[in-house]
Chains A and B, each alone.
Chain A
Amino acid sequence: MNPYAGLVSRLRAAWLAGRTRPMEYRVSQLEALGRFLDEKKKSIMDALAADLRKPCFEVEVSEVILCKNELNHALSNLSSWMKDEHVDRNLVTQLDMAFIRKDPYGMVLIIGPWNYPVQLILVPLIGAIAAGNCVIIKPSEVSSCVEKLIAEMLPSYLDKDCFAVVTGGVKETTELLENRFDYIFFTGNSSIGRIIMAAAAKHLTPVTLELGGKNPCYVAEDCDLQNVANRVAWGRFFNAGQTCIAPDYVLCSQETQEKLLPALRRAITEFYGANPQESPDFARIVSDKQFQRLQALMNGGCVAIGGQTDEKERYIAPTVLVDVSISAPIMQEEIFGPILPIVTVANVEEAINFINARERPLAVYAFSSNKKVLNEVLKQTSSGGFGGNDTIMHMTLITLPFGGIGESGLGMYHGKFSFDTFSHHRTCLLRYTGLEKLNEFRYPPYTQRNLALLSSTFEIKRKGSCTLL
């Protein structure tokens, strides 16, 4: 007997009873989430500090504000999102009602990662609740203090009949996945993404997979390199590099590299001081395993900046590598830490070829003062999202969809895209009961005349096509 079968049944019963449907209900649950963020803010800060030594500022910006923005956006727009969407009718359906009904899927499962353990659980949750679903959330066991906080404190804010938190590791998640869900939203790495999708396939459950990859960052020769260095360093070292959309590696010419290094050095010093280990504004690596993995990665090149580590604190200095070996692990796997390798290329074409020879990343970044270069990189590559002359910022805009492609994921969310992700767009046509005469020409016995009539009422002509008389 599956240990979670009872829980899933219970939530599904609440779903079938229609508990989560009324707008007022959804609003009340979303408002409760808002209160959780306000009232438990200190606990959230403490938990993130314990798990990742995440600076309070970073917590506020990347975990709290982003969630509150999404909450407010959803609350402000929910009634219009929920409305039936009326569509254009053709000749035949002129008297009918044709619209798209936004139906919830039913039972949703959200699995979160450890790097932004509050944001990456709550933002999808907001979408799922707004769309009228019942939800089970499974926070990451790796960020164990946040996991504990969510499991202990969040349920008291939400309706326990419709929302639940499940904690556990691989074994528990596997058992959880044996149950049938109506939607699964997963954030994590590609290998687990495959396992999730295969499990979902057994029940024909639709999925959104927010995965990762190596986000390239091309830097052209024509840039103000200090600005570039600031923006790249910020993106790379925020949360000690444990960010799915961080710039993973830099692509630039040898010449640019020589100028970039001092600029990066300066940015790092300005941000974190001469000894980043003493800065209150620099996070730590989440676990020993991750720490050791990152330490080993550094062997893939020469340390040009940083390189210091401290196992006790799981501290890895903001590090820049040069003379990187393309076949070394550091250029084979997503780094997910505060190490920035620089790979030299002759020009932008070579950079584009380098990017296209690899799996499609979650983000592609390009820095150039020439818009043409930015547009060229955008046009010739394929990625989840694209940032020109900055890193990470594209995910902070609530009006832009956030999602990957290929190895970096499938589906998208944020803002209305979250609501749409967790909604089934149900086609509805309510026809007029009378006027049967109009229907008759579609019925047998079939005649050429009827076919001609049917064609003329249904036909969509090509615009601008005319008949020469």
Chain B
Amino acid sequence: MSKNEEGQEEAFVSSKAGKSDDKVTSTNPYAGLVNRLRASWLAGKTRPMEYRVSQLEALSRFLDEKKQSILDALAADMRKPPFEGEFAEILLVRNEVNYAINNLSTWMKDENVEKNLVVQLDSVFIRKDPYGVALIIAPWNYPIHLLLLPMIGAIAAGNCVIIKPSEISKNSEALISEMLPNYLDKDCFAVVTAGVEETTKLLENKFDYIFFTGSPRVGKIIMKAAATHLTPVTLELGGKNPCYVADQCNLQNVANRIVWGRFFNAGQSCIAPDYVLCTLETQEKLLPVLRRAINDFYGAEPKESPDYARIINDKQFQRLQALMNGGRVAIGGQTDAKERYIAPTVLVDVSTSAPIMQEEIFGPILPIVTVANLEEAIDFINARERPLSLYAFCDNKAIHQLLDRTSSGGFCGNDTLLHVSLVSLPFGGIGNSGMGKYHGKFSFDTFTHHRASLLRNAGLEAINRIRYPPYSDQKMALLIAAFGVKRRGACTLM
């Protein structure tokens, strides 16, 4: 029997036991910072529960004391209405801080597990260990929420953390980098402000966990960088979230909920309904109720409404403006480059090959794509990348059909966005829309290494003898009796 030379080459390449972060030279601008935080981590600063609670409480104080500054920064960045800022960026974050503080001692406890015969007298449990130094990279659309929410999990789990807010939401970035460090222990937590080039340099360092929220394109770059250090990642990405609507009596309610989800934050939400799928007939009924909802929410002239945000920057504005060419404007369509205003817009007669149906819209434009029936809607959805969210406004039977036959990060029937507001539900994508999940306890678990622990009795050696050589059938029979897991309900016919 001959051995394949190539096969042997592949099978075992000696892996260096020395620290792999030796590769990052001291010329890396962030090496010093990372080393400093790692030293704090190794010294055990972030481990005690009291410490973690104190840092979380400090986060809470930041949210309270700097509330106005936060709302002002969000207004400066994307004219986010204070109501939206307060709800989505402050309240939801404070909820998570409180939830974590309330539950931390339970989450941190060693988790005892069921024992088999062999280890009856031993301690068998899962120890919740921090990873070490975590890096959190946040996007610009909910620049406070999407930075602090993962950070809550990382702190609760006992890690040191470097956070990198988005340079695109520059007022929020400035606020975070100037004000947040005063609240947290500078030995263990740091803010790095950086553009693309600097972030690339930052990623050359070894982190023990990387949490990224952003686009799939950049997600791939992050994961590739993480691979060089075997760093585990959570990637919260995006996609085109389909919204299936069947004809029904409460179409105004449907329109309200869709309009709310689509135009909140001027459409700049990863979980916003991206496009509607319905029959031509339903479309005809949907348009007037959508028009009414938009009117009810933002008035006849949404540009004058204080409750409607703006596009984050010129680049995004121009991109969105161009996307509108992919269909016919049925509602809205007005834009103002000076204010980066795009009216709440609904498109019909949409070309599925146009850019608007190829990329995540991430703006206040809602295309309607007509399909013949539910089957066609399911096929349409399944022919495309798996989205972060899937929405369905239809009867129970159709909802279950959609749920059973599609795949997505999350699913919400008869509403939009709300499925991410429950701390007891995990939030994460699948395929192109991401990997991993967080919120509530899922955040703690994401930033925790679940360490299997078995503490055995030092004595009672006689029991162990059945596993030692010299091997015998008798020992085998005893081992099987001690170790074997039977199938429940399996019985021996006598």
Contacts and interface: CB of A to CB of B under 8 A. Distances in A.
A55 B408 contact: no
B10 interface: yes
Interface in B410-465: 410-415, 418-428, 430-432, 434-437, 449-459, 461, 464
Interface in A382-413: 382-390, 393-403, 405-407, 409-412
A308 interface: no
Interface string B370-414: 000000000000100000000001001001000111011111111
A444 interface: yes
B413 A427 contact: no
Interface string B459-494: 101001001111110011001100111111110000
A90 B113 contact: no
Given A224-B461, A444-B81, 12 more contacts: A21-B404, A69-B484, A170-B7, A171-B6, A194-B227, A197-B227, A204-B434, A227-B458, A384-B451, A399-B124, A427-B419, A462-B101
Interface stretch (A155-163, A254-262, A299-307, A367-375): A367-375
5 contacts: A169-B4, A204-B435, A289-B12, A369-B458, A430-B413
Contacts of B102: 460, 462-463
Nearest 5 pairs of A and B residues by beta carbon: A57-B471, A446-B83, A201-B223, A197-B227, A76-B488
B173 interface: no
B351 interface: no
B119 interface: yes
A43 interface: no
Contact of B424 (A87, A271, A424): A87
Contact of A400 (B113, B299, B414): B113
B3 A460 contact: no
A251 to B, nearest CB: 14
Interface in A412-448: 412, 424-434, 436, 439, 442-447
Nearest to B453: A386
A185 interface: no
B224 A198 contact: yes
B307 A400 contact: no
Contacts of B19: 357-359
Nearest to B471: A57
A279 interface: yes
B16 interface: yes
B414 A445 contact: no
B193 to A, nearest CB: 26
B469 A282 contact: yes
A288 B3 contact: yes
Given A93-B418, A105-B430, A446-B307, A61 B230 contact: no
Interface residues of A, number: 158
Contacts of B419: 98, 427-429
Contacts of B132: 382, 406
A140 B10 CA distance: 10
Contacts of B25: none
Nearest to B455: A388
Interface string A194-231: 10011011101010010111100000000110110011
Contacts of A271: 468-470
B458 A367 contact: yes
A383 B451 contact: yes
Contacts of A388: 123, 453-456
A46 interface: no
A72 B348 CA distance: 54
Contact of B457 (A270, A389, A454): A389
Contact of A429 (B3, B219, B415, B480): B415
B80 to A, nearest CB: 11
Contacts of A424: 407, 430
Contact of A60 (B14, B16, B476, B486): B476
A149 B419 CA distance: 48
B237 to A, nearest CB: 7
A214 B18 CA distance: 10
Interface of B: 1, 3-4, 6-20, 42, 44, 81-84, 86-87, 91-92, 94-96, 98-99, 101-102, 113-116, 118-119, 123-124, 126-127, 129, 131-132, 208, 216, 219-220, 223-224, 226-228, 230-232, 235, 237, 248, 250, 252-253, 256-257, 260, 296-299, 305-308, 382, 393, 396, 399, 403-405, 407-415, 418-428, 430-432, 434-437, 449-459, 461, 464, 467-472, 475-476, 479-480, 483-490
Interface string A56-91: 111011000100111111011100000000011110
Interface in A308-331: 329, 331
Contacts of A442: 87, 260
A193 B12 CA distance: 11
Contacts of B489: 76
A277 to B, nearest CB: 14
Contacts of B208: 406
Given A18-B405, A198-B227, A397 B422 contact: no
Contact of A234 (B232, B252, B420, B467): B467
B119 A397 contact: yes
B451 A430 contact: no
A178 B453 CA distance: 37
Contacts of A114: 11
A430 to B, nearest CB: 4
Contacts of B235: 204
A249 to B, nearest CB: 10
A354 to B, nearest CB: 12
A246 B461 CA distance: 19
Nearest to B472: A57
Contact of B8 (A287, A390, A429): A287
B231 to A, nearest CB: 8
A391 to B, nearest CB: 10
Contacts of A331: 17
Most-contacted residue by chain B among A289, A357, A358, A429 (CB, 10 A): A429
Nearest to A382: B129
A226 B15 CA distance: 33
Given A105-B430, A171-B6, A389-B456, A194 B119 contact: no
Contact of B17 (A213, A427, A432): A213
B469 A429 contact: no
Contacts of A375: 455
A113 B7 CA distance: 11
A429 B411 contact: yes
B487 A76 contact: yes
